[in-house]
Amino acid sequence: MRWGLRSKFLAALLIITALFLMVIIYSYASLNTLYKAASDIRNGFKEYSAVLEVDTDILSATRPIHFFAADGNKQREKEFDKRILRSQQKIRQIKKSPLLDAKEKIIIDTIEISLSQADIKARELFALKDPLHNPRLRGLSRLTDSELHNTIALINTYSAYENREINNSMLKADNIYNKRNNYLIAIVVMMAVVVIAMLIVNFNVINPILKISKSVELFDRGQYNQRLRIHTGDEIETLAESFNQMAFNMWQEEETAALVQQRLLPQKKLRIPGLRLHARQLQAKIIGGDWYDFYEQGDKHINLLIADASGKGMPGALLSTVAMSVIRSEPKIVPMLDILKKSNQTVERRLGQDNFITLFSAGLDLKEMKLHYINCGHERPLIYDPDERKWRILTCESGLPLGITSQEFNPGQGVLPLKKGSKIIFYTDGLIAVKNASKQRLSIEKVITFLSKHNDMAIEPLVDELMGEAVKYCKRRLIDDITLLGMEIT
């Protein structure tokens, strides 16, 4: 006879229900007292939990303040409003609680006043014109942050007071429970049967579900080639078989998509006297949102591109493919700035502002030995000066990524003179996002220190060694795609 999953749970539920009925009948005289004590504790926890939620909301409201002080983006006000409004609503709900005593009411009123003062300061901050050049920006941001943390301190005071009340209620409940010795025998019997029932359920239900849960977690990380081996003879086994089939289908689809994505990248190296190019890519999942391109544009002129789409996996790959298609569809004689403007409009119009692409475009003129670059919110490349024998970060404006807005598309532009022996490494932010066992990131300073130890190395092995260093440094799961594109003037 085969027992289905529903039958197993129903049997366990019936056993537990019967035991609880025995306990309830045996101790009916004490239920009213216990219910009142439990109700007081429950209400106290609800009130305590609501205050903690306010604390979390106010703490998260400090983030848009910090970000606004850094970038001056007016959109931060919406996020701040959302957090503050929710905090104010919760405080008003807490004030309606019938459990508040006189001292708690005073503290809650003080919290509400402090939050209002923080809100007023925030309004002044967000109302600043040209905030990044306004001398009041730093002072107002610090003052607003101070008011918010003052509110948090008041909430902590209230939490400590409420915690004492909850503890007192729990002590009263403990005294009630300690007087009910007649519970002991029934509870011991009940727990013994429950343990036996749970062991059966654990073996036939919980363990298989945990295996499925672990496989789903690995599946979310992009490991689609795993297979479950579960033989319970019920719906869980059917679920495992369905998961195996789904994972296999996804693996096939991802492998095909990865193959297509690889074919969209440059398939051949450029053979140009006086120039060496070398690229390496490592993705967090089978496919990713990083891409690069290089091609000749007339005599002694080469265009190079490196980009990083928001998101990883399939979403990032689709976003990067859209931008790549727009850029590649334009004639090579069209100036790169015009191509990027059109690509920016396409990404914003078709994919929305929540999706964006950072991009760095470089036009290399080997006749004049100059690099004309355009930076759309991308990581600034690393430059090696053969005369000074030093690596440095290119000093240039950043601009906004593609897809943020078409109204203020003003990428950073500039010209970099080159000489024989000059090296440039373009990279995506995945390089400095890798973490070691101590959760420390591979900073750009550490990358420059590594490169400085290999000044005489040609660009091909240097890029390979840098990628190997990133992999060696990473002791955790790779959280972002890494793309390196190296160039050397020989």
β-pair type (482-489, 423-427): antiparallel
Torsion of CA 365, 406, 410, 139, to 10 degrees: -150
Confidence of residue 360 (pLDDT cuts 50, 70, 90): very high
Confidence of residue 39 (pLDDT cuts 50, 70, 90): low
Instruction: Say what percent of the chain tops pLDDT 90.
Output: 16
Per-residue pLDDT tens over the stretch 308-354: 887 666 676 777 777 777 777 777 777 888 888 888 888 777 766 66
What would the two tokens of residue 31 be?
Answer: 């239920």
Per-residue pLDDT tens over the stretch 141-174: 888 888 888 888 888 887 777 777 767 776 766 6
Instruction: Name 318's bridge partners.
Output: none
Q: How far apart are CA 83 and CA 265, in angstroms?
A: 43
In CATH terms, the superfamily for domain 270-489 is: PPM-type phosphatase domain (3.60.40.10)
pLDDT at 478 over 90: no
pLDDT of residue 227: 76
Give the range among 3-17, 68-82, 268-282, 381-395 with minimum mean pLDDT. Answer: 3-17
Per-residue pLDDT tens over the stretch 185-209: 666 777 777 777 777 776 777 777 7
Which of these, 229, 222, 232, lies nearest to 244 by C-alpha position?
229
Q: What's the CATH code, domain 28-181?
A: 1.20.120.1730
Cβ atoms of residues 303 and 297 within 8 Å: yes
Confidence of residue 441 (pLDDT cuts 50, 70, 90): confident
pLDDT of residue 44: 63
Q: Is the pTM of this model over 0.85?
A: no
Composition of the chain by helix, strand, coil, percent to 5: 60, 15, 30
Q: How far apart are CA 130 and CA 90, in angstroms?
A: 34
Query: Where do we find the tokens 């915690």?
Result: 163
Q: Which amino acid is located at 337 in the chain?
A: L
pLDDT of residue 179: 62
Q: How far apart are CA 483 and CA 479, in angstroms?
A: 13
Q: How far apart are CA 37 and CA 170, in angstroms?
A: 8
Domain limits, the chain: 28-181, 219-257, 270-489
The string of DSSP letters for 216-273 reads HHHHHTT--S-------SSHHHHHHHHHHHHHHHHHHHHHHHHHHHHHHS--S----T
Q: How far apart are CA 310 and CA 357, in angstroms?
A: 6
Q: How far apart are CA 52 and CA 49, in angstroms?
A: 5
pLDDT of residue 485: 93
Q: How far apart are CA 384 and CA 365, in angstroms?
A: 18
Instruction: Name 294's bridge partners.
Output: 304
Cβ atoms of residues 453 and 383 within 8 Å: no
CB neighbourhood size of 337 (10 A): 13
H or E segment and range at residue 57: helix 28-71
Q: Where are the alpha helices (DSSP H) in 72-135?
A: 76-95, 102-126
Q: What string of H, E and C letters represents the secondary structure of 367-378?
A: CCCEEEEEEEEC
Confidence of residue 224 (pLDDT cuts 50, 70, 90): low
Which of these, 350, 402, 348, lies nearest to 375 by C-alpha position?
402
Confidence of residue 297 (pLDDT cuts 50, 70, 90): confident
CB contact burial 152-183 (16+ within 10 A = b; e otherwise): bebbeebbeebeebbeebeeebeeeeeeeeeb
Contacts of 168 (CB under 8 A, 6+ apart): none
Query: Where do we find the tokens 């789409």?
Result: 309
pLDDT of residue 17: 76
Q: What are phi and psi of 27, to 5 degrees?
A: -120, 30
CB neighbourhood size of 137 (10 A): 18
Residue count of the chain: 490
Signed CA dihedral, 405, 407, 412, 414: sign only: positive
Residue 363: alpha-carbon gap to chain centroid: 33
Signed CA dihedral, 336, 339, 345, 350: sign only: negative
Instruction: Tell me if residue 40 falls in helix, strand or coil.
Output: helix
